Each structure stands twice: as C-alpha cells, then as structure tokens.
Amino acid sequence: MERDKEKNLRHEFERLSWEFSLLYEISNAIRTTLKLDQILYIILTALTSHEGLGFNRAMLFLVNDKEGVLEGVMGIGPHTAEEAGKIWHAISQSKKTLDDFIASYDSFKKDPESRLNSILKGIKIPLREDMGILALTILEGMPFEITTTEARSMVDKEIQRTLSTDFFVTVPLKAKDKVLGAILVDNIFNKKPITKSDVKMLTMFANHAGLAIENSRLYEETVYLSNIDWLTKLWNYGKFQQHLSLEVERSKISEANVSLVMVDVDNFKLYNDTFGHIKGDEALKQIAFVLQSKSRKFDIVARYGGEEFAIVMPNTPKENSRLFAERLRSEVEKLYTERDLSSVENRLTISCGIAAYPEDANTKDELISRADLSLYEAKRAGKNRTCLYSRAMEDGKH
C-alpha cells in the first residue's frame, strides 16, 4: 500500500516536472521572436510535436473585432490518416526535438501541401451564442471538452464537416481580461483520449500563448506606427526609402521597370496662409486619400515631406505611370474646382514628375533625383501638369 502510494507520488512528481519543464521551454521559444506568424507557429508546434503536448492536430483562431467574427489563422497537423502515418513515421525516424520543429517554420510557410492550414484560413465564425462551441469559447472565456457523443451534438455541423473532427477540446487565448482567440486540439487519428490533465496543461499553456500574442500585436502596431506619417496615414519618408530600395533591387533581378511619381501640391503655401493651418492639414489629408485610393494595391504611396508625395509603381512602364498620374491630377483638380473655396491663383492642384528605373537611372538616388527634376519642370512650365524625365532636362534644354 505504502509502496503504491510512493509510486503514485513519484509518477505525479515526474509529470509535474515535465509539465513545468515544457512550459519553460515553450516560453523561452516564444520569447525568441516578436513576429506574430512565428509566434503562432511556435504555439501550434508545441501542441503537436512529440516532445510537446503531442496532440494530433492543433488549430488557432483569432478574434477580428472589426467584423465581430472568429477567424481561422493557422493549423498544424495532418489532414488524413494516411498523411498522419507518413508524418509520424518521419518523426520517429528523425527523432526531431521541439527546437527542430520550431526551426522548420520557413518550410511550413512555403509548403503547398499544408491542407489543414489552407482549410483553416477560410473559416469565419460570427461571435454569437448560436454559432457553436468555438464562438462560446470566446464569449464565455472558458474551455470546452467535446469528448462525448452528447457534447458533440452542440458542435456546429459545418465546422465538424470542414475540419473533419469528432472529439476535441477548445481553450480560450487570454491576455489579462481580454479573450484574443481560441485553440482547438484533437487526436483524430490515434484516438488517444484527451484527459483532464491534458486540458489543465493546455489551459496553462494557452495563458502563456495569449500574452505572447498580445505582446506581438503591440510590437507590430508600434513598428507600423513608426513607419506611418501621422497626418496623412501614408508611409513616411523612411519607409518610402526602404520600399524604393527593395523595388530597385527586385527590378535588377526581374528586369521589370519601376516608375517613381513625385507629386507636389500647387499653391499650398498661399492656400495655407489664406485659410489657415487646419484647412491646410485637411487638404493634405484629402489629397493623400485621393492618391491612396486611386493607386493599385501593390503601389507604395508615401508622404515625402511637407506638401510633397511619392508613389513607387513596380512593374510599370513610364507611359503607364504618366496616364495614372494624369488621372490623379484630374481628380484633385476636380475636387477643388467643385468646392470653389478660392480664386484660380490659389486653388489647389497637383504637379507630377516621373522617372523610371532602369530607363532613366542607374541607382535609387538617381531615380529620385530625376523624378524630382521632372517635377521641377512641371512646376516651371505652369503647374497642374505631369512631366516625364528626359535627358534634355539635364542639359538645360526645355
């Protein structure tokens, strides 16, 4: 009797030691990065690797506050029993550690065979009580154990079909008092029961994970804000330089054109002096909105400084960028003609100067300089117009 008691205590002590050791390892791994996608991968890897919690599959959902939905973000694990067999055989042969799984993030990101991950990213669940267990996990902020046939009847049938899951557990991801999302785990292939001890460990783990996700979001928001112009919400000068450098380097490899459109607001100083700085700021925001909304998704629109803007247009010949700039110019002219706030002399319009790499420049700095020279020519020629760079501008020929 005493021997059995001692054996049970030793077993319990070993289990607790393993749990704390694992939590310590995972916490250290999470602290190695502040990038959200890498943190999510570390979390799911820890849940599915044989050195981690060892569930067959793990899926992570995050709350989208704007849309009021829970979105599938990332999933790790096989999609079929056959796939599971191959993966587990590979694991047993290679004897990978948790660190090895975490280090394979780049391969996972590029893996077109990750079917579970692809399926998960298409899931959106409205946050209402009638939308099933995952929604309730968020709304009530508590775990749900779907380990019986009766409990399974509460699960949304569409989710069951999409994820091909029978019995599973969900736990909320929390940061302080806020529920950020949910984790769903199952053992769909080896049918190993999920115990109370597993749920307890999973909940402890989810609390660590929630704080890591919140820290990552705060970091990414800080980085984003540091690259944004406070007034117009466009990219700022520093981020513009970074984007342009990248596009020029890409152009060297792809041999595609990169056009740079420099935009200056005509008569801005007079407008500002006439109507005041508040109206001037409003005008810059309105013009920035026109530039951003009329640009393509992959164009980079930035505030270059003062009343000057820059638009980087990858894979765009110079003539195409001229047509685009003319549409912008016409849009801004129409905007301020309709408002008729000022005389023709101080009415806001824009002038545009365009140069392209590698047609007009050998370096990023040359490209900026020659687009700027074209802009100067547009201003000199009477404003409210678009000019393309030509060698004649360098020679002083007009």
pLDDT in tens, 351-362: 999 999 999 999
Query: Is beta strand 308-314 parallel, antiparallel or unpaired with respect to 178-186?
Result: unpaired
| Cα 109 to Cα 86: distance, rounded to the nearest angstrom | 20
Report the Cα–Cα distance between both ends of the chain, in Å, rounded: 104
pTM, rounded to two decimals: 0.67
| Cα 218 to Cα 243: distance, rounded to the nearest angstrom | 23
Q: What is the pLDDT of residues 112-122, one digit of tens each?
A: 446 778 888 88
Instruction: Kindly list the domain boundaries of the chain, sorted by start residue.
Output: 2-224, 237-394
Place of tokens 């629109």: 301
Q: How confident is the model at residue 34 (pLDDT cuts 50, 70, 90)?
A: confident
2-224 architecture in CATH?
2-Layer Sandwich (3.30)
CATH number of this structure's domain 237-394: 3.30.70.270
Name the residue among 145, 181, 146, 177 with its Cα closest to residue 59: 181
Question: How many C-beta atoms lie closer than 10 Å to residue 139's C-beta?
Answer: 15
Poorest-confidence range of 35-39, 180-184, 230-234, 290-294? 35-39
C-alpha dihedral sign at 324, 325, 327, 331? positive
Poorest-confidence range of 20-34, 96-110, 228-242, 286-300? 96-110
Q: What is the pLDDT of residues 252-296, one digit of tens each?
A: 988 889 999 999 999 999 888 888 899 999 999 999 999 999 999
- The answer, yes or no, to whether residue 367 has pLDDT greater than 80, is yes
